[in-house]
Each structure stands twice: as structure tokens, then as C-alpha cells.
Structure 1
């Protein structure tokens, strides 16, 4: 019906999760936050939206009450310096190399004592081994590597 100016009177819903926006022609109910628009921890926390934080184990921006176990240490980040940081060594390996030991250094992660899995683009998963703040993974064997998708050489 076209656009009409928004009136100055904004009302919160009783649960404070939505705002009612009034114009001459209609009433609209909109959420007070839109955390899902942010896809990285840096974007999420850099937005300074007081309703949003980074749900570490689900790798998503959300409200705290929508993040499982958010009250456990390092499960929910609300400040950029709390974002998970991972570095991997070596940074590059040839696809023809099998079972290369990869060392991941993890910072700002929750308790990993239950164990970790190493996932390679969702195609291959191996058990990871934890030693201090380091995680050790073996790269997949050459026959488990998926051919390059629309980039570079293809595997024959």
C-alpha cells in the first residue's frame, strides 16, 4: 500500500521481544533483534547489538536465551576478545599427501575434555587428540579427499 511515515509512539510487546511500530495505515510487529544476520563472531559482536552474542558450539549469533548451555564457561561470547581463535600448522598440504599430522592451537574455547572430532569440509571425520591447548588431527587419506570443485585441476 505504499509507505507512510512511522509515528513516534513505539510500544514494546509484554515479553519485550518485539516492538510495535505504528503508522497512519498499519501496525507492524518486529523483533527487537536480528542476530541471525551476522555470520561470524567478529560481525556479531562488532555490531554492538546488546541483544546478540556468539553461541560458540553452534557457531552462530543469537540471543543468550537461545544458546544451549550459554551459562557454562566460554560457551557464549559477548565481547570480541572472547571470539574463538584457531591456528593450524602446517597451513597448507598437498592433496596427494595422506595422514599428515595437523596441529591446531585453540584459544577461547569451552572445556574440550569430552573429546573433539576433526571434520574436513564435512566429508571426512576423524578423532582429534587434545594435549594442553593443542588439538592433533590426522588429515584424511588421499582416497578420501573429494576432487576439487570448480577450481584448479580436477582429480582423475
Structure 2
């Protein structure tokens, strides 16, 4: 598992360490979201290898988290990165609809920021407050642009989505 996590660059986008992953798997199984299957004894003399599969409850939870991360205006970056990594688990139409919802939320956020600014505002003259507002606007615009780019790729047929052969 450690090699898989490292090859995925998980240290860059998650808080997972190899030890915490095993603990998380056991906790998730205890919560009824995963089912454990002991498969083969360890050739190195350690505990047997355990494989996990999602339970029905786990699958429902997984898809709820996936949908929320793809559609929310401001999910944590690690959640969004993981959701994009698993986007192919959704049908194309659903993924597109979720990302459209996210893009709309970004536009609403930008509009809510600019609605409070007087016409012709020069944020550079507002000191630190202007820089904070500039950060919000830049974040809203760059996240909206990223979302629109992903949407365009999906609409053009990128990826093999759930239900596609």
C-alpha cells in the first residue's frame, strides 16, 4: 500500500501516512463502510494480507462524498483532488451536472464579492483589505476557470466514465 500511495503522490494532496491508512481502513470497516477479507498469509512473516470491499453503506457514503466534493464551491483541496481522481466512477452526464453546479457557485461567489464594491473601485488603494478582496476574487475566478476547463474536457469526451465502454 505504501508504494501505491507514494506513486500517486498522496503525500502531496492528503494527510495519509502509511500507518494512518491502515488505521483508517480498520476504523472504516468497524463503521460498516468496508468489508474485510483475509486473503493470503504474509511471505515476510507479518500479518495476513487483508483486502477490503465497499459495503452498500460504504458505497452510498463514497458517492455522497464524491458528489459533494465535485459540486461544492469550496471543498478542501485534498477532497477535490481525490474527487477528480475518481470522477470516472460517475456517469458523464452526472459529472457534468455536478461541475456545472460548482461553476455556478463560483460565479455566485464572485458576484457576491463584487456586489459590495463601489463602481470603479481600485482595490490597490484599499490597503490590506483590498488585497484580501483581491485574493477572494482571484480564487473565485481561477477556480471557476479550472472548473470550466474540466467541464469542456468532459463534454468533449475526455475520460471513460461509468457506463461507457
TM-score (normalised: structure 1): 0.24
Q: Hey, which of these two has a bigger chunk of helix by percent?
A: 2
TM-score (normalised: structure 2): 0.23
**Structure with max Cα Rg:** 1
Q: Hey, which of these two has a bigger chunk of strand by percent?
A: 1
Structure ranking higher on relative contact order (CA contacts 8 Å, 6+ apart) = 2
